[in-house]
Structure 1
Amino acid sequence: MCKEMKQVTSKKSRILVIQNLVIQFTLRGRVLTAIRDISLDLYKGESLAIVGESGSGKSVLMKSIMGLLDKNGSIKQGRIIYNAQDLGQFTTEQEWLRIRGKEIAMVTQDPMTSLNPLKTIGKQIEECVVLHQGLRGKEAYEETLKLLTDVGINDVKKRYKQYPHEFSGGMRQRIVIAIAIACKPNILICDEPTTALDVTIQAQILQLLKNLQQKYGLTIVYITHDLGVVAKVADRIAVMYAGDVIEVGETHEIFFHSRHPYTWALISSLPQLGSKGEQLYSIKGTPPNLFQEIKGDAFAPRNPYALKIDFLERPPFFQISDTHYARTWLLDPLAPKVEPPAALQAFFAEGRQYAND
């Protein structure tokens, strides 16, 4: 991360620091660079949302923090600093077991594939309590019932004895969350936590995560492509494209003051910005081939505002405010002044007015 970005939020306590991270995968003799020189800070107690279209590298970035990269993937450059340790230097499962679950836990997007269909949900939660909290017997049982209560499960003694198939999708997601917080982690990573849930249940799960964050003092990272989810839960947003963070800022800054054309395009894709009788906005073109070296701004071929330099040099982060940065040459003092699309300007103005009221 650029020097200015590190200085900006120095008053906050950094719980995890990613510096110049490069992650590559080897596929059939070819090398794919999934994460391209990313730097990002995570602050204690915050909710950070990482957004971007499929294939942008969101999940790969978070898996690297937990040592869950596929066997053909590896960290080629950079550091992941947590608790004065460089996680990128871990080479054994024993090292990761000291961090995974106990310090950093994950809630996956498909609870049915995460849960063991042959074990009761009570036993699955209790395993984590025994392993990470060191409780045994009645103490472990009582702690498991408490966790079930905390995630909004009723009649917990009965539910303790039931199997995953006896629960609805929303209830299974609550069970997975209970397993994650049973480890008493400092950081909770939520990978598309509301996927395949209806709108009402989505709202309940998001509110549950907010309540648990306050109760357990969690720092939460949300991985999502759903900007509606982001608006409800995030303190800050990092926008990813083609394995790179291209804009980062507080939620209101990204939604109503964004400056990168890709962020404009993402927001323009919101159904709320569509007009009756007209097709919804979609981003033309396709993401770049990550098997090939990317020169300049990866979004340049799809960017209607691209400058010549966008095809030649990767832009640095430009500071917009104390908490807001964007990686686009349009913010260079020598660049021509470019305004976002008219529909987006109206959305920005409405949002700013609402914030002021």
Structure 2
Amino acid sequence: MEATQTKSTILSIHNLVIKFKLRGKVLTAIRDISLNLYKGESLAIVGESGSGKSVLVKSIMGLLDKNGFIDHGAIIYNDEDLAHFQTEKDWLKIRGKEVAMVTQDPMTSLNPLKTVGKQIEECVILHQGLRGKAAYEKTLQYLKDVGIYDVEKRYKQYPHEFSGGMRQRIVIAIAIACKPKILICDEPTTALDVTIQAQILQLLKNLQQQYGLTTIYITHDLGVVAKVADRIAVMYAGEIIEVGQSHEVFFNGKHPYTWALLSSLPQLGTKGEELYSIKGTPPNLFKDIKGDAFAPRNPYALNIDYEERPPFFKVSETHYAKTWLLHPKAPKVEPPHNLQAFFEEGRHYTYE
């Protein structure tokens, strides 16, 4: 599906299918996803709640719930197929050391009975083999790297003595202290106010460059990743329906669901008018989905959308979308009016 990039592939997902057993039924949460992650890039996975974003990244770390399982496909990392890992011993080779995660609620990620310094230092000892003064000084350095001041004092304090934004910085420091190759940020700014969101995103961007990380952002908000993502993958109903460079998805999006997400951005609203919202609800993943999963909510749906699942159509060497509107025989359909000026302005800004 994806063309070869100039960067090397660090992780590759092939035809992944993930299911959950619930109340005697089987729910298909991830439906035949293939995706490459390139070394040093920042990839944003975007979609509304329930689209499968978190399930996808949890499968990379072996953190699926007990009733979840990989039914089909491969997750290739360091020439190993993580989809075949069965034991905690297998996953401990990957979790933290190779792939670390920053979650959306720092208070539930931190131990309230331990000082933040000790929690970071545990990772330094476990994953870097440092002890004593060396581990302590390394911990102080991580506190400084994530923007904590008066680090000797802060080292001795407990999570409840920090603000929400500061606690998120501590969680990031813990993840960085594991020295991972891949950092997954699962809705890292959801619980924070807008000003702090911007600071945390800039911090993550700086740390990515400082430590040579490959970063995955999980979010339902396209606006959050506008300035930090190199590439965007849009998910709907357990599958990736569009993927491309950040500017390609923002300013030349092709799937009607991508149009709908962009139209929902507050900055594209008109003063005095109700903000756009996507009509209808996502499909029931307990049932087999026929055709394009977005068809019942898609005002541009063609007859074939209800009959056949669209393949990926190539827009450019780095941009693909799963929509029959890109078929050579499809009628020409323009994006919504409010997006046309946005696309034109963005393309001019990006390419000129």
Give the structure-2-normalised TM-score: 0.99
In structure 1, distance between residues paired with 2:348 and 2:14: 37
Aligned match of 1:305: 300
Q: Which secondary structure state, in structure 2, belongs to the residue aligned with residue 232 of structure 1?
A: coil
Residue in structure 2 matching 1:259, options 243, 254, 258: 254
Counterpart residue type for residue 51 of structure 2: S
Instruction: Give per-residue Cα distances to partners, 1:252-297, cap 9 Å, x unaligned.
Output: 1001100000000100111111112211111111000000000110
Counterpart residue type for residue 320 of structure 1: V
In structure 2, distance between residues paired with 1:146 and 1:274: 43
Aligned match of 1:25: 20
Residue in structure 1 matching 2:101, options 81, 102, 106: 106
In structure 2, distance between residues paired with 1:348 and 1:315: 24
Counterpart residue type for residue 22 of structure 1: V
> Within the alignment, does 1:213 sit opposite 2:208 as a pair?
yes
In structure 1, distance between residues paired with 2:88 and 2:264: 42
> Within the alignment, does 1:268 sit opposite 2:272 as a pair?
no
In structure 2, distance between residues paired with 1:166 and 1:10: 45
Unaligned runs of 5+ in 2: none
In structure 1, distance between residues paired with 2:265 and 2:286: 30
Q: Percent identity?
A: 81
1:139 to partner: Cα distance: 1.1
Residue in structure 1 matching 2:219, options 224, 227, 235: 224
> Within the alignment, does 1:14 sit opposite 2:9 as a pair?
yes
In structure 1, distance between residues paired with 2:325 and 2:5: 27
Residue in structure 1 matching 2:242, options 230, 233, 247: 247
In structure 2, distance between residues paired with 1:37 and 1:350: 35
In structure 2, distance between residues paired with 1:135 and 1:356: 48
Aligned match of 1:120: 115
Q: Which secondary structure state, in structure 2, belongs to the residue aligned with residue 289 of structure 1?
A: coil
Aligned match of 1:286: 281
Counterpart residue type for residue 82 of structure 1: Y
Instruction: Give per-residue Cα distances to partners, 1:205-225, cap 9 Å, x unaligned.
Output: 111111111110000000001
1:52 to partner: Cα distance: 0.3
In structure 1, distance between residues paired with 2:28 and 2:101: 24
Aligned match of 2:52: 57
In structure 2, distance between residues paired with 1:62 and 1:308: 34
Aligned match of 1:320: 315
Counterpart residue type for residue 53 of structure 1: E
Q: Which secondary structure state, in structure 1, belongs to the residue aligned with residue 271 of structure 2?
A: coil
Aligned match of 1:157: 152
Aligned match of 1:329: 324
In structure 2, distance between residues paired with 1:10 and 1:118: 46
In structure 2, distance between residues paired with 1:324 and 1:308: 25
Instruction: Give per-residue Cα distances to partners, 1:294-345, cap 9 Å, x unaligned.
Output: 0110001111111111111111100000110000111011111111111111
Counterpart residue type for residue 289 of structure 1: N
> Within the alignment, does 1:97 sit opposite 2:92 as a pair?
yes
Residue in structure 2 matching 1:296, options 291, 298, 308: 291
Q: Which secondary structure state, in structure 2, belongs to the residue aligned with residue 314 of structure 1?
A: coil
> Within the alignment, does 1:148 sit opposite 2:138 as a pair?
no
Aligned match of 1:41: 36
Q: Which moved more, 1:343-352 or 1:234-243?
A: 343-352
**Which aligned runs of 4 or more in structure 1 are off by greater than 4 angstroms?**
none
Aligned match of 1:192: 187
Q: Which secondary structure state, in structure 2, belongs to the residue aligned with residue 176 of structure 1?
A: helix
In structure 1, distance between residues paired with 2:270 and 2:6: 43
In structure 1, distance between residues paired with 2:163 and 2:238: 35
1:11 to partner: Cα distance: 2.5
Residue in structure 2 matching 1:234, options 220, 229, 235: 229
Give the structure-1-normalised TM-score: 0.97
In structure 1, distance between residues paired with 2:277 and 2:56: 26
Q: Which secondary structure state, in structure 2, belongs to the residue aligned with residue 193 of structure 1?
A: coil
Q: Which secondary structure state, in structure 2, belongs to the residue aligned with residue 40 of structure 1?
A: strand
RMSD: 0.8
1:204 to partner: Cα distance: 1.0
> Within the alignment, does 1:352 sit opposite 2:340 as a pair?
no
In structure 2, distance between residues paired with 1:333 and 1:203: 41
